[in-house]
Amino acid sequence: MSFTLERPLVFLDLETTGLDIKNARIVEIALIKLFPDETTDSFLTLINPEMSIPTEATKIHGINNFDVMDKPTFREIAVDVISVIKNSDLAGYNLASFDVPILTNELQRAGISYSLDDTKIIDVLTIYKIKEKRDLSAAYRFYCDKELASAHSALKDTQATLEIFKAQLIKYPDLPQSIDELHNLCNMRDERFVDKDKKFKWTNDEACLTFGKYRGFSLNRMAKENPAYLQWMITQDFSDEVRNIIRSALKGEFPQRPKNTINPSE
C-alpha cells in the first residue's frame, strides 16, 4: 500500500432484510480487518433477524428464512462484532449511508453503547464517484476513446451521444437489437417498488408507503383508517402515477403486484 495505517481498518458489508435503514435487520455480516502490518483477519456469520426475510430481499442476496433459522441473533454475536471493530476505522462500499447506520441500530437494539465519533469512515463508493465521472465527456472517452470538444454545445453533445450509442451496441453484443426491447431495458422498474418514483413499495405483495410518518403502512390500511391523509397526498406535488394509485386506493382498488418483473439491481 502507498499509505501507512495508524490503526486497523475494518472492511464491512451487510446483507439485510431490506433497505429501510430504520427497520432493516442484518441477516449476514462480513468483516475483514486489515492491520497496519498488512495482515488480515476475518469474521463472517449468518444472523437470525428474528423476523421473516421478505422475498424481495432473498431475491437480491439469496438468503432465506431456512438459512438463518438456526443461526445466532445479532444480540448473541454483538460482542464479537465489537471486538473486531473497536479501536479501528471502517471501510466499505456505500458504507456511510447504509451499512453503518444499520449496524449502529442493531447495536442499540442489542443494548450495546458504542460510539463511532472517533471512527474514520472510508466509503469506496464515494471515492469511485469522485474519481470516475459519469458525465457525457467521460462516456465519450470511455466508449469512443476520444475527447469531447465543445462539450455542452447542443450539436456536439448530440453527435457524441449518437457515437456512444453505436459504440455501446458493438461493445455489448447481448444488448437488445430492437427499439422496443431497448425501451423496455431503459425503463425497467425496480420490482421492489410499485411506482417509478418509489413512493410505494411492495411488502408481502401489498403496496406500502416508503416515506413520511406513515412509512410502512399499506395503502389498504391507509384507505380504511386514514383516508384524509391519502386525500391530502393527492393535492401535493406527486406524479400523476402516484396520484392515480391513491385515487384508486380510495375507491377500494389496490395495485396488484406483477408476476414477472425485473430487478435492475440483480
How far apart CA 140 and CA 19 sit, in angstroms, is: 33
C-alpha cell recorded at residue 206: 401489498
Q: What is the pLDDT of residue 133?
A: 79
How far apart CA 118 and CA 11 sit, in angstroms, is: 17
241 touches 195 (CB < 8 A):
yes
- Residues 140 and 123 grouped into a single domain: no
Q: What is the pLDDT of residue 96?
A: 83
Number of domains in the chain: 3
C-alpha cell recorded at residue 150: 465543445
HSE toward the beta carbon, residue 8, CA cutoff 13 A: 18
Q: What is the pLDDT of residue 85?
A: 94
Q: What is the pLDDT of residue 266?
A: 33
Q: Which of 49, 156, 185 is nearest to 105 (CA)?
A: 49
- The structure's pTM equals 0.60
- Residues 148 and 83 grouped into a single domain: no
Range of the domain at 122: 9-127
99-125 confidence digits (pLDDT tens): 998 999 999 999 988 888 888 999 888
Under-50 pLDDT residues of the chain: 260-266
Q: Which of 160, 174, 212 is nearest to 22 (CA)?
A: 212
Q: What is the pLDDT of residue 74?
A: 96
Question: In this structure, is residue 248 part of a structural domain?
Answer: yes
Question: In this structure, is residue 154 part of a structural domain?
Answer: yes
For position 43, which CATH number holds? Answer: 3.30.420.10
170-213 confidence digits (pLDDT tens): 999 998 888 888 887 776 767 788 888 889 998 888 999 998 88
Q: What is the pLDDT of residue 2?
A: 63
- Residues 54 and 155 grouped into a single domain: no
Residues acting as catalytic residues: 152
